[in-house]
Every structure is written in structure tokens, then in C-alpha cells.
Structure 1
Amino acid sequence: MTKLSAATLPRITTAALPAYDRASLTAGIVHFGVGNFHRAHQAVYLDDLFALGSSHDWALVGAGVRDADEAMRQKLKSQDWLTTVVEQEADSSSARITGAMIDYIKPGDSAAVIARLADPAIRIVSLTITEGGYYIDPASQKFDPNHPDIAFDAASMAEPRTAFGLILAGLIRRRNAGIQPFTVMSCDNIPGNGHVTQNAVVGLAKLVDPALAQWVRDNVAFPNGMVDRITPATSPREVALLSDNFGIDDNWPVFCESFKQWVLEDNFPAGRPALERVGVQFVSDVAPYEHMKIRILNGGHATIAYPAGLLDIHFVHEAMEHPLIAAFLAKVENDEIIPVVPPVPDTDLHDYFALCQRRFANPKIGDTVRRLALDGSNRQPKFIVPSAVDRVAAGQSVIGLALVSALWCRYCYGTSDSGAVIEPNDPSWNRLTRQARLAKDDPKAWLAMTDIYGDLGRSQSFVAAFGHALTTLWSVGTKATLERYLADRL
């Protein structure tokens, strides 16, 4: 067993090691949200690029704003910011040690974060703060300037608490010093993530000074991007697998699939690393790729998560082995989701969905149904509702998508079909559970959450399909409801 650290790297023979001198790296990117996805995605692309001898002035510095970020920081600090990434497919597993991160600023130290953001060497600030971290109304996708966190930062720009407050404070200091602004790059699964991030920073700036807001809008780049790699949460299972199979003791390893994708708008006025050398696609318009991924892959995750949760299935690959769930996914995708996804350059959408099915079925990943079911109040409006809105507008059937929403509602009731308790799995769990219990007798109570459903909750066809689906779920259970849908009897 080898405890991971810079000093012990030469002793590790079971994993690929950084193929570059980490002492040659200098910081070029500050990243907010050093979680598993970031370390399996952006950090891996940079690690690959550094191994080519390129862009060594683009190393990562971590930053965070949550209490939990300090725990991550301590775990990574003790191993010199190194991370073990294990790529797993059905017939193979391989490990690598990545070294693209060279520092991590202590969460809560606003002065240190702002000082680093003001450093001219920092030319990109990136974020993976989850779909729910952007202070946006789920239905309208508009920035919420009235949120208490935002109001606090607007009045306390010397010591802001949010990522957007810190970013804005860094931009103010650069403007005052005559330093070119950094580019702000979201790496979260949000439609138009660059626009959403710009709206958050500009929206906060408006509360501070309208002239500042205009300066941000005129001078700061917010490229849109699409990111993809299935990356489960780390549990004791993953720590033990790494130890048993590779002899490495890592405080917080990352397990993921081998597939990864990153599509970016090439809008980096302050410069960027040469990521095209390691497979990043730079395009003029990310929207088609984004729509494809969010609706087909993320929408697919939402489609299988709730029936699997109601049937007490733990792992995603086990859900894909269940014939009813796999068939449900295929029917909803082929009948209702894929037909309203706009064309994507050089891509067959059905081939893309087939790839998603294979990825979901990967037995080595250990991705959990509970992770897919997490935070539905933020994910459903992005991954499911837009497809339903498009179909309603076109006068097309929404029976399958309405069933997906009904399954989510039934899940939020808080018990599975067997009567097992479903533990809270959403920041708004209490509200969702309350509405789900009202909806058992009055399905319209669920659709009354206009921040989630918007005008869709008033669509006669969707309301009727949802109500029938939810009533059927309560009457005959998940298994029989899926059988009826698959037989076109729902």
C-alpha cells in the first residue's frame, strides 16, 4: 500500500503518473467547485495537455465557498493536490495520477481568493458549482437578485461569500488596476451555461453599480460549453477498490467512465490553454451539442432514476438490466425526446442515444440511482420540462414525459413501492414531499409549482397525461404502470 503524495509517486507502479515536471507549472486558472466531476474532466484534460509539454502556465488553483469545500481541501492538501482517477469499462480498469492542480485557497478567506483573482497570471476562472448554484429561477432561468446570499454580497463586496461575489470583486480589482479581465467559464450542465453565468455576475454587479454591470457586460467573456463524463460520488467502496486493486491510498479518488467530451465556444480574449490538442472541440455555437446532451443523456438519467428508485434499485447499471426500465427509457427517448432535439453537426442522434445506453449500462462505474435522482427541483426544469414544452407547442403527445414527471412526484412522496423510506434527496425536499402528498388526491397540486413547470402546468394535454399517470402509479404501482405505458395502454 502506498499513501499518495508527491514524495511517494516514484513508488507507484500500478497507475500512470504525471508525465511532466510539476515544478514547472504555474497557475493560470482559478476553479470554483473542486468536486469529482471537475477532477475527472477539466483537470484530466489539462493533465493530458501538460504531458505533451504544452501550456504549463495554465495550472489549476482550487477555490470554494461552502463549508464542505474545506474538507475536500484538507484531503487534497495532505497528498500535495494529487488525485487518482480510475477509468472503468465493463472489461477494463486503469488508474492515473493527475497533477494539474497546484494549490487550493482556503474557503472563507475572501481576501486570499480576491488577491489571486486579481493576479494577471490568472486568465480563466472556471466553475462546477452544480445546476442549483447559479441563483436562477428554475422555470424562467433568470437570475434571482433577491436571494439573501446575493443581497449580502451586494452590500459586502469587500468580503463576499458567493462564487459570483468573489468573481465580481476580482474583476473590480483588475479593472481598477488596469489589468485585462479574466474569462469566466462555466463547466456545469446548464443550457447556455455561459449566458447563465454572465447573468449572475452582471445581475450582482447591477446591485452594486449599474456602470459596473455595463463594464462587465462589455469586457468580460463568458463562453458557453458542453461537458460530459459520468462520474459517481466517491464512497468507501471506491476508496477500498483503489486500495485493493491498485495498492494506492488516496483520500478522495475519482472513479469514472473512459468516455469524456468537452465542446467550447472559442471566446477567450485573455488567452487559453491549447486544449484542442487533447480532444476539446472548439466551435462557434455550442447550443446544438448542449441540447443533445442535456435532453438525451441528462433527460435519460432522469427518466430511469425515479422508476428505479421506486423499485428499490441501487445502481444505475442494475436499472438498465431491468427490462421494464430499459424499455421505458428507449420508448420515451425515441418517441418523445429525440424527435424534438435540433440537429447537431456531424452527429446521428440515435447513435448518440445508443452510446448513452451503453454508458448507463457500464457495470464497473458504480453510479447510483440516488445520485441521478438528486436535486430534481433543479434538474427537471432543465432536463425534462423543455422537451415537454416543445411537444405541447407542436401539438404532440407527452404521455411518456408526463409519466417521468409523475414518477418524480411519486418518488418525492418519500416511500418506494415496497414501503421503504426514501431519504431526503433534494434541497427542497420538505416542500416537494408536501406537494407530493397533496398530489396523491389532487395531481394538479404538483404542477402548481410554477417555478418548476412554468406554463406547462397549465397545458391541458400535459395536465391530463400527468394526472392519469400519477393516479395509475398510486393504483397499480410502478411496475404495472410501466407495463401499461410500454403496451400503449396508459
Structure 2
Amino acid sequence: MAVRLNMSALPHIGCASVPSYDRSALKPGILHIGVGNFHRAHQAAYLDRLFETGRDHDWALCGAGLMAFDSKVHDALAKQDFLSTTVAQEANSTTLRITGPMVEFVVPENPQAIIDRLADPAIRIVSLTITEGGYFLDATGHFDSRHPAILADAGSHSTPKTVFGVIVSALRARRNAGQKAFTVMSCDNLPHNGRIAREAVAGLARMIDSELADWIDEHVTFPNAMVDRITPATGERERKLVRDHFGIDDAWPVFCEEFSQWVLEDKFADGRPALETVGVKFVDDVTPYEAMKIRILNGGHAIIAYSAALMDIHFVHEAMQNDLVRRFLTKVEEEEIIPVVPPVPETDLGDYHRLTQRRFANPKIGDTVRRLCFDGSNRQPKFILPSIVDNLDRGRPPVGLALESALWCRYCYGQTDSGASVAPNDPAWDRLTETAKTAKTNPDAWLGMRDVYGDLAKDERFGRLFADWLARLWRDGTKRTLAFYLDS
């Protein structure tokens, strides 16, 4: 019979390593907003390893969240003393670890409770995984001060509703109390995520109180980071596997690959844990690492996602077993992405690309194509468009990347090549579907989404490539279109 995960069950768990550190002695030093699978497989896992070394126990995690989903997260984790089963899987191995660096979770959907917790000077870092779409960016990739949610927080700043409204209110309270500022550390998959977080926090503050904004500019730090670990969503399949195969009844286990990477700028306002002792790479400038990961790995995910989805392929490793999809990925990466990625210190980009292919092909992860397809309206401008623009600037036609864009458009039509329906899979799904239907006969309608494509819509070279590929997809289907591209 499976053992229900909690502190009292740890002595009875034999198939997983468990914390040897005294969790009762841990004290929160980091408040993390957005406790999802990636956070627990990445940042929390690094802290768990650090605590095992016997040091920095005053840097434990306090979870927090502002979304309705965060209540479900809180309830699931609270019942198991904020422990998590982390299952790291490779093709030939499976490793289980019970992690325990989180010791609190502020009751979700209560912004004031988070503000009050942040008033404690023991909290020296606020970390974020709020997804790419949570930063209120405009078409240029900068903070959108005209977004309705931001305008609402600026107008009623004593009762904020957004993450950044909460952070600004907490910083105001700390300044007024004469306390030190905390570091805002984004762990989201965005280029220059620290800069973006700074723009959002300082930008909103300036709309409320210019002196507060000046204080934030002077005292708050926002390190850029590159984070990487493939972490699929948890469903009944994962819960059943942990329960039936390993005898652990965990309401929300987290599955991931063995590989993990974290490159972080060493810019902290009031100290930090010694994460360099457990594999985090601290650098002066994370930009080259960001570009490599976002363009090669995340861009690669987008390349395989929509082609696989249109052919009704469910799992990512199955997509990599498909000759057309795998060759499509390789050709676009080698001809249009890797040549425009800036050099990375002590890194061979070709080796990195081959590593990502092996990671995508991992059959144990169970990562779904649908997850990779999610939120294209926020991901395409960050993962795909920069490579398109760089190719155009160099006079190179982005043929394969234009096909990727056409595949995304075709996917958003809401129907695969077989006629199966595609369930809504983007915060802007209704608009995307309507626009994709118009684009079937008027491709310019798709490129006219300025919040996605910006000025790229004006480039006739890209427009012609996109229109030709979209027409071919509708005429010939995905398989024949990929074959035509690969034989060209």
C-alpha cells in the first residue's frame, strides 16, 4: 500500500532519498511567487541540495501566488507538509528525491497577506515563475504601462491585484520602515528576464510615486538568469506512476529530466545563498547563455510542436521518432538558428543542439506536444521571431522559420490534418482562431497581429514566404509540406 507523503512518512520511504537536514530549523529567506512544476524541479531542487550540505538554512522558501490555481497548489502541498516527490528520468534510469526546502505558503489569492510577509526583513529575495505572459509586455518586448491590469493597480495601489503591484507595495512598506530592499529574481523563460522584471516593478512604481521609483532604481537588484530543465505537467498518469510503482501517495509529484542548468548574474541587494556550491553558474552577463537556450532549445520546441500536433502526435519523444519532424528540426536549427546565435563562452553550439535533441527524445519524460504548443502568442515573439529578424538582416531568407510560423497559424485554426479538434491552448485562443480562419484566404491578417509580429509584418520577403507555406499546408497537408521543405 502506498504511503501518504508527509513528514511522518519519511522514515518509511525506501525508494527515494529524503532530506537529512532538519526542516524544523529552516527559516524562509526567499518568497517565491508561482509555485509550479518548473519551480519545484529547478530552484527548489537546487536549494534542497544546498541544504543537504549543512549550510544556508536561513534561505528556505515561502510559497505565494495570486491566481486561482495557486489555491489548489497550496492545498495539495500543505497536506503533505510542503514536501514534493521529484522524479528525474532518463532513458535508462529513474531517480526519486523527496525535496523539502519550502516550509511556508502564504494563503493564495490574498495580496495583502503576501505584502505583509514581504515586510519581514528576513525575506531577502523575491523569486518569480509567473510564465512568459505574466510580465505585461507590449509588441516591442517592453513593459506595457497601458495594460488595464497595470492601470488598475496604479489607480488603486493600496489594494494591488498583480504580482508587480504587490511587489511595489511591499517595497514601499520596507522603504518607509527603513529596511533594506530585497532582490527580485525572475526564473521565467524570457530573454533578459531581470531587465523585464525591473521595467515592470520600477515602471509601475513610477506611475504611483516617482520618489519610490527612484529608491527602487537605486536599491533593488534584478539579476538576469537562464534557467533550464524540461518539466512536463503533472496529471493522473504521473500520480499513478508514483503511487503504484514507488509506493508514494503524492498529490502533486513533479517529473523532470536529469539535466538541469541555471546561469545567474551575481547581483543581489541583501545577500544570497551559496548556490555556486551546488552547480549554479554565476556570471557577469547572462545574455549569451539566454540567447543560446531560448533560440536553440525553446525555438526547437516550437519547431517540432506545431508540425507534430497537426499530425496528431501526442508525446514529444514520439515526435522525435518521426523522421519528418526530426529532420525538420535539424535543418532549421543548423541553417537558420545556430548561425545567428552569438558565441557562448566555453560552449560549442553544435554540441548544445545535439544535446537538446537527445533531451527531446527522452522517452521517460512523457512531455506532451500540447504543452509545447501552449501560449504561442507569448512565446513566438521571444523564441522564434528574433532568429527570423536576424536572418533577414543578414540577407538570408528564413525559409524554415517562415514554415514554423505558418504551422503555428494552421494549428490555431483549431483542427489537425485528420480533422480532429484542437482544444483551446492559448490565453488569446479565440482571437488566434478567428485570425487563423481569416488568414486561410488572407495571410496578411495573421502577420497583422502587431503584438506578436511587430514591424516584421511590413517585411515583404517574410510575408511572401509565410503566405506560400500557409497555402501549401492547406493544399497538401503537413506531411507533404515538410517533405517538400526537406527536399528543397
Residue of structure 1 in register with 2:361 after alignment: 361
Q: Which residue of 2 aligns with 1:37?
A: 38
Deviating more after overlay: 323-332 vs 216-225: 216-225
Kept after mapping to 1: 8 A contact 2:66/2:111: no
- Measure, in 1, the Cα distance between the counterparts of 2:474 and 2:20: 57
For the Cα contact (< 8 Å) 2:4–2:250, is it kept in 1? yes
Give 1:444 deviation, angstroms: 1.1
Q: Deviations over 1:38-58 (max 9, x none)?
A: 000000000000000011000
Equivalent runs, 1:109-120 vs 2, <5 Å: 109-120=110-121
Contact 2:136–2:144 at 8 Å: present in 1 too? yes
Equivalent residue runs for 1:136-215 within 5 Å: 136-137=137-138, 139-215=139-215
Runs of at least 4 residues of structure 1 off by over 4 A? Answer: none
Match of 1:448 in 2: 448
Match of 1:121 in 2: 122
Deviations 1:77-99 (A, max 9, x none): 00000000000001111111000
Alpha carbons 2:183, 2:221 under 8 Å: kept? yes
1:217 Cα deviation after fit: 1.3
For 1:242, give the aligned amino acid.
V
Q: State the match for 2:293 in structure 1.
A: 293
Q: Percent identity?
A: 61
Q: How many Å separate the matches in 1 of 2:14 and 2:92?
A: 21
CA offset at residue 451 of structure 1? 1.2
Structure 1 residue 375: Cα displacement = 0.3
- The residue identity in structure 2 corresponding to 1:288 is P
* Superposition deviation, residue 107 in structure 1: 1.3
> Is 1:271 the equivalent of 2:271?
yes
- Between Structure 1 and Structure 2, how many residues are aligned? 487
Q: What CA distance in whole angstroms lies between the structure 1 residues aligned with 2:157 and 2:9? A: 42
**Once structures 1 and 2 are overlaid, which stretch shifts more, 57-66 or 159-168?**
159-168
Whether the 8 Å CA contact 2:66–2:110 is kept in 1: the answer is no
Partner SS for 2:464: helix
1:399 aligns with 2:399: yes
Mapped contact 1:205–1:212 kept (Cα < 8 A): yes
Secondary structure of the 1:293 match is helix
Corresponding residue number in structure 2 for 1:89: 90
Q: Matches of 2:354 and 2:268 in 1, distance apart? A: 34
Cα distance between partner residues in 1 of 2:77 and 2:204: 32
Q: Which amino acid aligns with 1:384?
A: I
Q: 1:237 corresponds to which residue?
A: 237
In the TM superposition, what is the alpha-carbon distance from 1:72 to its structure 2 partner? 0.6
- Shift of the alpha carbon at 1:411? 0.2
Task: Give the counterpart letter for 2:29 in structure 1.
Answer: G
Report the counterpart of residue 471 of structure 1 in structure 2. Answer: 471
The 8 Å contact of residues 219 and 269 in structure 2, kept in 1 or not, is answered as: no
Partner in structure 1 of residue 47 of structure 2: 46
**Does the alignment pair 1:79 with 2:80?**
yes
Deviations 1:113-146 (A, max 9, x none): 1111111101000000000000111x20111112
AA of the residue aligned to 2:350: H
Give the Cα separation in 2 of the matches to 1:187 and 1:466: 33
Q: Give the Cα separation in 1 of the matches to 2:215 and 2:347.
A: 38
Q: Distance in 1 between matches of 2:475 and 2:81?
A: 56
Farther off after superposition, 173-182 or 147-156: 147-156
Check conservation: 1:134, 1:143, Cα contact below 8 A: yes
Q: Equivalent residue for 2:343?
A: 343
Give me the whole-angstrom Cα distance separating, in 1, the residues matched to 2:310 and 2:389: 26
Query: Corresponding residue for 2:18?
Result: 17
- Aligned equivalent of 1:312: 312
Kindly provide the amino acid, as one letter, of the partner of residue 56 in structure 2: S
1:244: Cα distance to partner?
A: 1.5
Aligned-partner SS, 2:276: helix
Please give the alpha-carbon distance, in whole angstroms, between the structure 1 residues aligned to 2:20 and 2:299: 37
CA displacement, residues 286-343 of structure 1 (integer Å, 9 cap, x when unaligned): 0000000000000000000000000000000000000000000000000000000000
Partner of 1:413: 413
Residue 156 of structure 1: CA displacement?
Answer: 2.5
CA distance in 1, matches of 2:427, 2:288: 30
Structure 2 distance, partners of 1:170, 1:10, is 40
Q: TM-score, normalised by structure 1?
A: 0.99
1:151 shift after superposition: 1.8
Following TM superposition, by how much is the alpha carbon of 1:260 offset from its aligned partner in structure 2, in angstroms?
A: 0.3
Equivalent residue letter for 1:132: G
- The 8 Å contact of residues 89 and 257 in structure 1, kept in 2 or not, is answered as yes
In the TM superposition, what is the alpha-carbon distance from 1:111 to its structure 2 partner? 2.5
Distance in 2, Cα, partners of 1:19 & 1:390: 50
Does structure 2 conserve the Cα–Cα contact (< 8 Å) formed by 1:398 and 1:461? no
Where does the alignment leave 5 or more consecutive residues of structure 2 unmatched?
none
AA in 2 matched with 1:483:
A
> Using the alignment, how far apart are the partners of 1:413 and 1:111 within structure 2?
41
Q: Confirm or deny: 8 A CA contact 2:195 2:224 kept in the other structure.
A: yes
What is the rounded CA distance, in whole Å, between the counterparts of 1:109 and 1:384 in structure 2? 36
What do residues 11-67 of structure 1 show as CA deviations (whole Å, max 9, x unaligned)?
111111012110110010000000000000000000000000011000000000001
Q: Which moved more, 1:2-11 or 1:42-51?
A: 2-11
User: Could you tell me how far 1:110 is from its partner in structure 2?
Assistant: 2.4
RMSD (Å), alpha carbons: 0.7
Which SS does the other structure have where 2:414 is aligned?
coil
TM-score (norm 2): 0.99
Q: Is 1:429–2:429 an aligned residue pair?
A: yes
